[in-house]
Amino acid sequence: MKTGNPQLDGQGNLKHFLTIEGLSRALLVELLDRAEGFLGVTQQAVKKVPLCRGKVVANLFFETSTRTRTTFELAAKRLSADVLNLNISTSATAKGETLLDTLRNLEAMQVDMFVVRHASSGAAHFIAAHAAPHVSVINAGDGRYSHPTQGMLDMFTIRRHKGDFANLRVAIVGDILHSRVARSQILALNTLGTAEVRVIGPRTLIPAFAEEALGVRVFHDLREGIRDVDVIIMLRLQRERMTNALLPSEHEYFHLYGLTEERLAAADPEAIVMHPGPINRGVEIESQVADGPRSVILEQVTNGIAIRMAVMSMCIGTQNIAMQADIKTDGEPNG
Amino acid sequence: MAEVERISIRGGRLIDPANRIDREVDLHLADGRVLAIGEAPTGFEPERVLDARGLIVCPGFVDLSARLREPGLEQKATIASESRAAAASGITTLCCPPDTSPVIDTPAVAQLIQQTAQRLGFARVVPAGAMTRDLDGKQITEMAALKLAGCPVLSQADRPIRSAQVQRRAMEYAATFGLTLFLHPQDPDLTSGGCAHEGRMSARLGLPGIPEAAETVAVARDLALAGQTGARIHFRGLSTARATVMLAAARGRGVQASGDVAIHQLFLTEDDLDGFDANCHLVPPLRTRADRDALRHALAAGEIGAICSDHQPHDADAKLLPFPETAPGISGLETLLPLALRLVTEGVLDLPGVVARLTVGPAEILGLDLGHLSPGATADVCLFDPNDCWIPTPETLLSHGENSPFLHAQMHGRVMATVLDGHIVFERMNDR
């Protein structure tokens, strides 16, 4: 049950991308560097490279998503892969087909990669453990556990603005308890050597033992928590938190934890503001900040495609190309 | 085999904690009873002699919780498969929780289970009757009738009664007939939606947590109600350090309460959830190392009087899902003894102490005159080799449940023969 890292093949190459946990700093940096190369591709007139030509990628979404699924689809298409989109709502699985039956059927269609989103923590690990040996699994979000491509696209965005992580203070604000995004960001930030990672929220939304279990400093006061930070990451607040006694109202939440121009002043003057989207204007962030000069929220979306191209090509790319030069020519990769 | 009526078990180390016996001595059985210890009575001619040299001879084990899945859940297991596995594990008496389908809330279901077990003859099955109809937590069952039908204890399996008022009434009514209540001390609201101990590991893995207070809140309520009503209660499967302290304090005040621990809670902790091992999905959840150590301490101090298998066999599909969606539980009959013997190796208990918590301890909690080898006692005997080394695999397990985190791990200690009511119901002596 704990034999090695299930994400790496025998040679230590990325086979699945399930979580940031257990991946080395060098591998994360390689991923970021590779994404840097793909960012050029996404800005070209002809936005395609043939690294995954002939491969079949299945987007297997057991939980609905627009943005994440679309960026995965675009990423796969820009790598010249064929893409299947399967929205398997829970009602479809309720027809009787089990998760494993669904997988077996797709494997029989010679799918090379599953991009999986599922409501249960650990679902991506489970699917990777039971997939055929030739299939790669990318986690597009499982329960509260992990959303590693989101985590890495955020690292990519931070690096483009701030360079090195060693001197950075990063604050993540909001519902940490239920957030796979926060868990992935925290793991990535710590692996990349970030000086200080803070989480800010009411006690009901911060996991027990967060400091030692996640490696963060916990703040319950927004003003105190964002003082002098270089990066502020706001998390989306789900409406259902109000109905199960975790929060009293959106009003009080915004009053205490909503990011406003005035509060932003406590952060470093160069601080950037991030949000994994979709944003709730007036709940966790006011529009002036979301649309303001410090916001890099839309950039995150663009970067998401480059990161997902990098992850997919590392897992099922036809070869480990020496990156940038080849990609920019849009030519056949050598050999 | 069933024809043999007179057996001598010779040369073994007899451990009978109820009678403070621990020495090399012969044991003679006749007509389903213990005839004598030491010299056989003059003229006694055994039909069968078991050579127990190098073996431990002790009362057959009494397991306070083993699900057999019959009636109603035969895709998981049957009384035949599981009682046979029990016999191979030295377990002669086992108590099955009432969450069968239909629920054990009528004499008919209780009798059906006992009659099936008797016909098969592998183990004595004691059904725990339901406290409420269909385990709905609302309307109490015909408890007197269930007692007459062979249920010495009543339980809600793992569906505790939410209403304190219903719980109180159930305790009072059960106390009228001297019925012990087996309680699953987990507050349903605090447990709801959770699948792991709320702690470091659940924070890391993003698994919905079950706080320690889910247990302590339930234990506090039920101890208070037991004190109020004078009912006799037993906490089935404690998992937290604080609950053991609360239990000990209440016992000190004279509350009629006892507790047991599932064997795996003495070895596994929340750390074993790393990698999302669905075989470590349990209710109550695996908790911290400190909790595990406190359970061991309470066991050694006698505040916890019984170790049970908490056997929950599942079909393979029940575990072939993402962790939170899997059915909780371990198939535990066949690793009960070797794991319990690890407590000796690890200095928690001595060998007679382990045997006591597998025999007379649980028998007293059930209120049954079993688990000892006094002359005239029921001839339930287990012979085991404490040093025999083996590895459980899906192929070697007799239980239909292959859901165990201990598969492929080395085990020391193996049952060589089991005698139930004076009949040899399992034997591996020839393999020696």
| Res. B361: pLDDT tops 50 | yes
Q: Which residues contact B321 (CB under 8 A, 6 or more apart)?
A: A98, A99, A120, A126, B278
Nearest chain A residue (CA) to B212: A208
- Average the pLDDT over B314-324 and give the result: 95
Q: Which of A99, A143, A146 is the closest to B321 by Cβ?
A: A99
pLDDT at B2 over 80: no
For position B259, what pLDDT does the model report? 98
Asked whether the predicted pLDDT for residue A330 surpasses 70, the reply is: no
Per-residue pLDDT of B228-268, as tens digits, reads 999 999 999 999 999 999 999 999 999 999 999 999 999 99
CA distances from B395 to A34, B86, B265, B402 (A): 48, 16, 25, 9
pLDDT score of A98 = 80
The answer, yes or no, to whether residue B276 has pLDDT greater than 60, is yes
A145 touches chain B (CB under 8 A): yes
Q: Which domain holds residue B45?
A: 6-57+378-387+412-431
User: How far apart are alpha carbons A33 and B44 in whole angstroms?
Assistant: 87
Q: What is the pLDDT of residue A65?
A: 83
Q: How many domains does chain A have?
A: 2
**B interface mutation test: which of A7, A99, A102, A145 has the most B CBs within 10 A?**
A145
- How much is the pLDDT for A328? 45
Percent of chain A residues topping a pLDDT of 90:
75
B313: domain CATH number is: 3.20.20.140
Residues from chain B that touch A180, judged by Cβ atoms under 8 A, are 206
> Which pLDDT value is given to residue A280?
92
B147/B266 same-domain check: yes
Which candidate from B206, B277, B278 shows the least CB-CB separation from A145?
B206
**Whether residue A171 is found in the same domain as residue A274:** yes
Active-site hit among B26, B260, B310, B380: B310
Average pLDDT, chain B: 96
Q: What are the angstrom distances between the C-alpha of B242 and each of B133, B250, B269, B357?
A: 32, 12, 16, 21
Considering the domain architecture, whether residues B85 and B156 belong to the same structural domain is answered as yes
Residue of chain B nearest A145, judged by CA positions: B206
User: In the predicted model, is pLDDT for residue A143 greater than 70?
Assistant: yes
Q: Do B274 and B382 have their domain in common?
A: no
User: A63: closest CA among A115, A136, A17?
Assistant: A115
* Mean predicted confidence (pLDDT) in A128-151: 96
Record the pTM.
0.93
Q: What are phi and psi of A95, to 5 degrees?
A: -65, -15
Question: Could you report the per-residue pLDDT of B203-237, keeping only the tens digit for each?
Answer: 999 999 999 999 999 999 999 999 999 999 999 99
Q: What is the mean pLDDT of chain A?
A: 90
CA B83 to chain centre: 13
**Higher-scoring residue by pLDDT: B154, A65:** B154
Question: Chain A partners of B277 at a C-beta cutoff of 8 Å?
Answer: 1
Give how far Cα B244 sits from Cα of B239, B249, B267, Å.
Answer: 8, 9, 17
What is the Cα–Cα distance from B217 to B186, expressed in whole angstroms? Answer: 8
pLDDT at B9: 97
A123 shares its domain with A181: no
Give the domain CATH number at B34.
2.30.40.10
CB contact burial B212-230 (16+ within 10 A = b; e otherwise)? bebbbbbbbbbbebbbebe
Annotation-wise, does A278 bind a ligand? yes
- Does B274 contact A2 at a Cβ distance shorter than 8 Å? yes
What pLDDT shows up at residue A325? 42
Grade residue B121 by pLDDT with cuts at 50, 70 and 90.
very high
A95 labelled catalytic? yes
> Could you tell me if A136 and A172 lie in one domain?
no
Q: Look up the CATH number of the domain holding residue A318.
A: 3.40.50.1370
> Within this chain, do residues A174 and A309 fall inside the same structural domain, yes or no?
no
Query: Is B76 found in the same domain as B48?
Result: no
Q: What is the pLDDT of residue B432?
A: 54
Alpha-carbon distance of B244 to A223, in angstroms, equals 43
Give residue A68's domain range: 25-146+301-329
CA distance A39 to A36: 5
Residue-wise pLDDT for B402-422, tens only, equals 999 999 999 999 999 999 999
Q: Would the CB atoms of B200 and A212 count as touching at under 8 Å?
A: yes
Least confident segment among A52-56, A79-83, A323-327, B89-93: A323-327
Torsional sign, CA A32, A34, A36, A39: negative
Task: Give me the pLDDT at residue A66, please.
Answer: 82
How many folded domains does chain B comprise? Answer: 2
| Greater pLDDT, A12 or A198 | A198
Residue B405 lies in a domain: no
pLDDT at A64: 82
Q: How many Cβ atoms are within 10 Å of A1's Cβ, its own excluded? A: 13
Query: Is it the case that residue A227 has pLDDT exceeding 60?
Result: yes
Q: What would the mean pLDDT of B305-327 be, rounded to a whole number? A: 96
Q: Domain for residue A17, yes or no?
A: no
| Half-sphere exposure in the Cβ direction for A241 (13 Å, CA) | 24
Q: Is A94 on the interface with B (CB under 8 A)?
A: no
Check whether residue A139 and residue A29 sit in a common domain.
Answer: yes
Chain A residue at shortest CA distance from B273: A1
Residue B275 contacts A, CB cutoff 8 Å: yes
> Read out DSSP for B327-387?
PP-B--GGGHHHHHHHHHHTTSS-HHHHHHHHTHHHHHHHT-S-S---TTSB--EEEEEEE
Quick one: average pLDDT of B10-24? 98
For residue A95, pLDDT over 80 is answered with no
Q: Quote the pLDDT of residue B3.
A: 62
Residue B399 included in any domain: no
From A100's Cα to the closest Cα of chain B, the distance in A is: 8
* DSSP string across B22-83: EEE--EEEETTEEEEESSPPTT---SEEEE-TTSEEEEPEEES-B---TTT-TTT--HHHHH
Catalytic residue among A147, A159, A178, A198: A147
Which residue matches tokens 């109202």? A249
> Is B315 inside any structural domain?
yes
Question: Nearest by CB to B323, which of A2, A120, A212?
Answer: A120
Q: Is residue B246 part of a domain?
A: yes
Helix (H) or strand (E) holding A59: strand A56-61
Q: Which residues contact A240 (CB under 8 A, 6 or more apart)?
A: none
Q: What is the dihedral of CA A15, A314, A118, A201, to 10 degrees?
A: 110
Question: pLDDT tens digit string along A32-83?
Answer: 999 999 998 777 777 789 999 999 999 999 888 888 999 999 999 999 999 9
